[in-house]
Amino acid sequence: MSGKEWRKKFQKLHPAFRNPYLIALLLFMLWMLFMDENNLLNQYRKYSQLKELREKRAYYLEQIKTTNQQYAELTTNPESQEKFAREKYRMKRDNEDVFVIVKE
């Protein structure tokens, strides 16, 4: 196509689309939405990852809290030490037998 044909087609466009500022704005928006390093898809992925990490953090903070409570109980109460040893490590007294039932 020659330059005159392009001009005719360009003149047929709506006046808003002939505005160079609007064209620059549209090109900038397209670049930012789809081609930039921080485009929408990457932002969504990062947001999902952040949400998952926050959930994991909350879970681990809760686990730390319960572990600290168990530790405090174990260090202050001798009866809880025996209970803990029996439940977690299956320890027994000399005159006892321990039966472990495993659910499938």
pLDDT in tens, 34-63: 888 888 888 899 999 999 999 999 999 999
| Contact (Cβ atoms closer than 8 angstroms) between residue 98 and residue 90 | yes
The pair phi, psi for residue 77, each rounded to 5°, is -120, 115
| Contact (Cβ atoms closer than 8 angstroms) between residue 40 and residue 34 | yes
Q: What is the DSSP letter of 10?
A: H
What pLDDT does 1 receive? 63
**CA 78 – CA 86 distance, rounded (Å):** 13
pLDDT band at 73 (very low <50, low <70, confident <90, very high): confident
Return the amino acid letter for 12: K
